[in-house]
Amino acid sequence: MFGGKSFKYLGTLLDESLSFCDHIDYVYKNAQQRVFLLRKLKSFDVSQHILQLVYRGLIESVRSFNIITWYGNVSAKSKIKLVRVVNTASKLIGNEQKHLSSIYNAALKTKARQILYDPTHPLNDTFQKLPSRRRLQVPLAKKNLF
């Protein structure tokens, strides 16, 4: 079904090295197909507002789905593929779109707040406030590849 030894779990393609290359290829292909729809709508002189809604609903949602899981482990070459989609859509729509890194940072902050304010969450104890009481200490994470 997918290239190499990868499988789809909860909408994300996982491979044995957790490089997410197959997932990026899959997302890129789907995003390119939807950019074609954006091009067609642009050729019909659809308003910029509608183009923006189509982009956010059909392309950005696919591109940023489960971004917390895969973004940190993706190579720069793979990220460039997804940036190309954003640049193409930005030119078609006529204004700058959110970059992948800003979407990732916003999703990460949201998830951290959810964990911090939910005392029943298993990771709640890993978040500790620094002495300033305004910032959080970053939890340590290790990735072992076999």
- Given a contact cutoff of 8 angstroms between Cβ atoms, the answer to whether 22 and 6 are in contact is yes
Q: Where are the domains of the chain?
A: 6-98, 104-137
Q: What is the pLDDT of residues 22-53, one digit of tens each?
A: 999 999 999 999 999 999 999 999 999 999 99
Cα distance between residue 146 and residue 141, in whole Å: 16
Alpha helices in the chain (DSSP H): 21-43, 48-54, 61-64, 67-70, 76-93, 100-116
Predicted confidence (pLDDT) at residue 139 exceeds the cutoff of 80: no
| Close Cβ partners of 86 (under 8 Å, ≥ 6 residues apart) | 63, 97, 98, 99, 100
Predicted confidence (pLDDT) at residue 74 exceeds the cutoff of 60: yes
